[in-house]
Structure 1
Amino acid sequence: MGEARVAMVRTAGVDRSGSGDVGAVGGGVPGRPLPWWLSLLAAVGAGLALLVSFPPYGRWWLAPVGVALFAVAVHRRRPLAGFGYGALSGAVFFVPLLSWTNLHLSNLPWLLLSGLESAYLGLLGAVAAYVSPVVDRARWSWPAVAGVLWVAQEALRDRTPFGGFPWGRLAFSQDESPLLRLAAVGGAPLVTFAVAVAGGFVVAALWRSWRPVGRAAVVPVVAGLGGAVAVVGAGFVVPVGGTPTTGTAVVAVVQGNVPRMGFDFNAQRRAVLDNHVNGTVELARRVAAGEQERPDLVVWPENSSDIDPLRNADAAARISVAADAIGAPILVGAVLRGPEPGQVRNVGLVWLPGVGVDRERMYVKRHPVPFAEYVPLRDIARMVSKEVDRVASDFVPGSEPGVLPLGPAVVGDVICFEVAYDGIVRDTVVGGAQLLVVQTNNATFNEAEARQQLAMVRLRAVEHGRQALMASTVGVSGFVGVDGRVFQGTGFNTAEVIVRELELREGRTVATRVGLWPEVLLVVGAGAVVAVAAVWRRRARPAGAGTAVVAGAGEDTEER
């Protein structure tokens, strides 16, 4: 009887610390969780490391560190505690990352969005905690498990609810990293996977040793850190820009600026339109004086004409003045009323010199932003905040990819936040785009948001082997090469015109050809990890054991 009681004490592993988590039996046993207060610090540190890895801070190498600290915080916790620690990391990360969303509104939308995004990291923490006892038994599976779980979390967050919000994907922190080059093979999901794998190697190296302290502990530490370095270094061997060049085009971007920052900038929409007209006319003057090569096409940003030029003859005349002066087609970011009463559309219009608008060539934004460009479930949303009524008219989505012939080029047009969505950008390239164009309006945000968006443009250029540009009302605008480098980046809240000869490319990268499949396979891998953990946990529970999961004498256990 005494031996049986000793065995139960050795195998039950019941936590009596009050932390709601489960440790190992005895000291120094593999897999024992950190004390709750250290997990708390690790969760906060994970959020901070992730935040600083993104623009404008740009410390990309901290993203794997953030993944590692996140894994340490939730390791061997109960799923509910894992959710709590994960959500805490998410709050520390997303609340400041998305602070630009409250610049001209109340704090409520910002905090609600940040809370929603944090909940996805909470879910990741719960799942990571659930599978962690199995990972303990195969130490070097940690990198792969971290990789597939992060990709699965992002895949869910990118799509739900109301089409998702992909801001803050690990891949978008890597604009200055060698890992950016992996986008040419597997797009953003592969870059995220690599970042998380590197973080998993760090955990495998530095988590409390599976071996006695001493020389024996040095080998796994060196191997783990070496693995993380090797993953990052793998980016250097991936070729980029392998798509063939079929010609060139001289492209001008007009950043007209907005007279006064603020949510009510649309009240000054005529001044914004005039700024872009005047910038283009001044460019035409420089061309006539021989100071600047004539562009083959001109790109104006999103909302450069918030006056519907198809209904307002004066606005149309002003745009025609600019097109006729420069002698080149202009891609105009405009807001059109209709097609039904109370509806509007966010569009890219092709405006031809001597002709006017080409009604056959128009891109209608396919993914309007919920609660900013349209309000789903408006009656219910109004119960939460009457601020939703600031969106007086709902933007309606288009159905066709933004593939627009513009002068000598076929451009792939995406508008503002659409650059964050893999499929929307890929559709333009599959449809024949030779050049990627991102029209955006950052006037209601700040420079941090603009630079985060430019990082996404850089990834898309590498992913699809297309040179790209971002045209913003206030900045940051710039040109991007197929290797992700930025040329002629503009300042913020300034009026500028930039001109550059860009390559027109055809063909498809590996990432363009395989499309969604890398993400699908990695998500399936995440499902397999959870399934294996579920089977193991069921088999590890002996008949009649109640709530204890027994891992065997001398090994760690977890109380359910």
Structure 2
Amino acid sequence: MPGRLLLAVLSGLLLSSAFEPLAWPLLLPLAVAGYVLAVRGLRARAALLPGAGFGLAFFLAHIWWLVDSIGTVAWLLLSGLEGAFYAALAPAVVVLLRLPFWPLWVAAAWVAGEGLRTEFPWSGMPWGRLSFAAVDTPLAPAIAYLGSAGLSFVLALLGCLVAAAVVAEGLRRRAVALGAAVALALVASVPTWLPWRLSTSGTSTVAVVQGGVPGAGNDVLFDPVGLTENHVLATEGLAGDVAAGRVQQPDLVIWPENSTARDPFASVEVNEGIERAVAAIGVPVLVGGLVDGGPDHVYNQGIVWDPETGPGERYSKRHPVAFGEYIPGRGVVEALGLEDFSQLARIPRDMLAGDRSEPLEVAGVAVADAICFDIGFDDGLYAQQRAGAELMVVQTSNASYIFTDQVDQQFAITRLRAIESGRWLAVASTNGLSGVISPDGEVVATAERLGSAALVEQVELKQGLTPGVWMGAWPSRLFAVSTLLGLLVGVLTYRRGAGWPERASRGRVSSSTSAGERQSA
């Protein structure tokens, strides 16, 4: 068991290395293979330990940025919670390994696990999905055909086929497993030469404003009025450049999340600043604002602010972050008298989730909005595209994470979403990373971190849906149902005495595994 646990921990660290800041995606199949080999041949209960070792190692490294942004306790708790999903997956993998063509079953279970932890508990946590590490690989264009879940399945299957090659007996069987992996990789790479292209309905000139955060740059509440003023000044500077002919007049302007960290409808100073900026540029501005939702609640919204009609349509963040933007079970915590619970002071009001599924209309353009962590979830983005979105926008703050690798991880996810949607995507951040991304994931314009900038780019407006978006949540549902079916078949087969399809000699990780280890397992 110590050897298996070590293999699991090393595999978890390999998986983390596939993401930013290292971004070595070739390690993805090796990490998945290591996980499978670490639990293969164990009893279901015994597989919990290496599964937990893998999950903890992966998330402790993958979300290390929480230490410097939120705190060590949050890092440990979230890593433990997310790592538990990989512990729970391990017994399921043990059962599925009994089935014929087990790589298919195990890969489906991996993706089903990703889908489950994206939804539960509370708001879910999408970080760490296999597909999110593939943006700079030949497989990235396949996401337009397969969707996020489908691409994760391909990557998980590659890892399972590598594991199958390791445990296969004889050169012929190993060659078959490796040949299947190579064939899968080649087929999944075909969209690199045949990318899915949506039809173009027109063009629009988009301006992305990054105003900067006062102070050290990592706290939007340090000077909320000054934060809004920074974006007002950057927009007025853009208007001056337009008047001087240095840049093209934009059709719409995007401000980031928290560009008004005080309610723009309650604060006269903030409201006047927005009006001043919108009047200067003379086109609608998509403002990011914290808006009161009553004495105990708040909304995180994108607000369309028109130079003639003022504030109009709004998008509310669909996925507020548990313990970051709201406190689950706040009433219980307060009833227990835990006044020293630090998050109660940091988050005095709970953020309410939005449910908008239609794009915003900004200067006649149908805009699909996502606010910060929304970019990691499929539901809102898919719904707005199905409702006719022509352009994608991400409003994000990232101020709390500006000195960490979270910023790069989120930007990589954002680039992948542009490929998946087949649409242009504009990212507005308070102080980084802002940018404009083409449908093939190329960053055509970006602003430096901690600086102030206004990016102006002409983008194409797209119509239609990629197959990945058209399928929506159905691949995830299919993988979940197939996993449940496989577990049922595996359990029934075992109980009827059929036992393992592979005999004990094939149930070992290697020929050096001792009989004593198998008996203790």
Could you tell me the TM-score, scaled by structure 1's length? Answer: 0.85
Separation in structure 1 between the aligned mates of residue 398 and residue 176 of structure 2, nearest angstrom: 45
Separation in structure 2 between the aligned mates of residue 415 and residue 324 of structure 1, nearest angstrom: 25
Could you list the per-position Cα deviations for residues 277-328 of structure 1 after superposition, in whole angstroms to 9, with x for gaps in the alignment?
Answer: 1111111111111111111111010000112111222211111211111121
**Are the structure 2 counterparts of residues 261 and 101 from structure 1 closer, same or farther at C-alpha, using a change threshold of 3 Å?**
farther
Structure 2 counterpart of 1:367, one-letter code? H
Residue 349 of structure 1 is matched in structure 2 by 303
1:220 maps onto 2:173 in alignment: yes
Residue 143 of structure 1 is matched in structure 2 by 103
Structure 1 counterpart of 2:139, one-letter code? L
Residue 463 of structure 2 is matched in structure 1 by 506
Structure 2 counterpart of 1:441, one-letter code? S
Residue 367 of structure 1 is matched in structure 2 by 319
Separation in structure 1 between the aligned mates of residue 502 and residue 150 of structure 2, nearest angstrom: 37
Separation in structure 2 between the aligned mates of residue 465 and residue 297 of structure 1, nearest angstrom: 21
Separation in structure 1 between the aligned mates of residue 198 and residue 503 of structure 2, nearest angstrom: 58
Structure 2 counterpart of 1:391, one-letter code? I
Structure 1 counterpart of 2:476, one-letter code? E
Residue 287 of structure 1 is matched in structure 2 by 242
Within 5 Å, which residues of 2 pair with 1:45-194?
Answer: 45-132=10-97, 134-135=98-99, 138=100, 141-194=101-154
1:491 maps onto 2:448 in alignment: yes
**Cα offset, 1:511, TM superposition:** 1.8
Could you list the per-position Cα deviations for residues 71-99 of structure 1 after superposition, in whole angstroms to 9, with x for gaps in the alignment?
Answer: 11111112222111111111111012112
Q: 2:190 aligns with which of 221, 224, 237?
A: 237
What fraction of aligned residue pairs are identical, expressed as a percent? 36
Separation in structure 2 between the aligned mates of residue 54 and residue 398 of structure 1, nearest angstrom: 29
1:444 maps onto 2:400 in alignment: yes
Separation in structure 2 between the aligned mates of residue 553 and residue 147 of structure 1, nearest angstrom: 22
Could you list the per-position Cα deviations for residues 190-216 of structure 1 after superposition, in whole angstroms to 9, with x for gaps in the alignment?
Answer: 010000011011111123x423xxxxx
Structure 1 gap segments, 5+ residues each = 1-35, 212-216, 542-548
Separation in structure 1 between the aligned mates of residue 500 and residue 54 of structure 2, nearest angstrom: 30
**Cα offset, 1:485, TM superposition:** 2.0
Separation in structure 1 between the aligned mates of residue 318 and residue 492 of structure 2, nearest angstrom: 42
**Are the structure 2 counterparts of residues 264 and 332 from structure 1 closer, same or farther at C-alpha, using a change threshold of 3 Å?**
same
1:311 maps onto 2:266 in alignment: yes
**Are the structure 2 counterparts of residues 553 and 47 from structure 1 closer, same or farther at C-alpha, using a change threshold of 3 Å?**
closer
**Are the structure 2 counterparts of residues 122 and 405 from structure 1 closer, same or farther at C-alpha, using a change threshold of 3 Å?**
same
Residue 281 of structure 2 is matched in structure 1 by 326
Structure 2 counterpart of 1:418, one-letter code? D
Q: From the CA coordinates, give the structure whose radius of gyration is larger.
A: 1
**Are the structure 2 counterparts of residues 395 and 434 from structure 1 closer, same or farther at C-alpha, using a change threshold of 3 Å?**
same
Structure 2 counterpart of 1:377, one-letter code? G
1:405 maps onto 2:361 in alignment: yes
Contact 2:398 2:407 in 1 (8 A): yes
**Cα offset, 1:226, TM superposition:** 3.2
Could you list the per-position Cα deviations for residues 180-235 of structure 1 after superposition, in whole angstroms to 9, with x for gaps in the alignment?
Answer: 2222122111010000011011111123x423xxxxx2x33333333323322323
Q: 1:302 aligns with which of 246, 257, 260?
A: 257
RMSD of aligned alpha carbons? 2.2
Q: 2:160 aligns with which of 200, 222, 228?
A: 200
**Are the structure 2 counterparts of residues 279 and 262 from structure 1 closer, same or farther at C-alpha, using a change threshold of 3 Å?**
closer
* Divergent runs of 4+, >3 A: 219-223, 261-265, 379-385, 549-560
Structure 2 counterpart of 1:433, one-letter code? A
Residue 460 of structure 1 is matched in structure 2 by 417
**Are the structure 2 counterparts of residues 550 and 331 from structure 1 closer, same or farther at C-alpha, using a change threshold of 3 Å?**
closer
Contact 1:178 1:233 in 2 (8 A): no
Structure 1 counterpart of 2:124, one-letter code? G
Secondary structure at the aligned position of 1:469 is classed as: strand
Secondary structure at the aligned position of 2:290 is classed as: strand
How many pairs does the alignment contain?
A: 503
**Cα offset, 1:449, TM superposition:** 0.9
Q: 1:414 aligns with which of 347, 360, 370?
A: 370
**Are the structure 2 counterparts of residues 187 and 487 from structure 1 closer, same or farther at C-alpha, using a change threshold of 3 Å?**
same
Separation in structure 2 between the aligned mates of residue 551 and residue 68 of structure 1, nearest angstrom: 20
Structure 2 gap segments, 5+ residues each = 508-517
Secondary structure at the aligned position of 1:298 is classed as: strand
Secondary structure at the aligned position of 1:503 is classed as: strand
Moved more, 60-69 or 380-389: 380-389
Separation in structure 1 between the aligned mates of residue 178 and residue 206 of structure 2, nearest angstrom: 45
Could you list the per-position Cα deviations for residues 118-152 of structure 1 after superposition, in whole angstroms to 9, with x for gaps in the alignment?
Answer: 000111122112333x15xx4xx243123111111
**Are the structure 2 counterparts of residues 270 and 73 from structure 1 closer, same or farther at C-alpha, using a change threshold of 3 Å?**
same
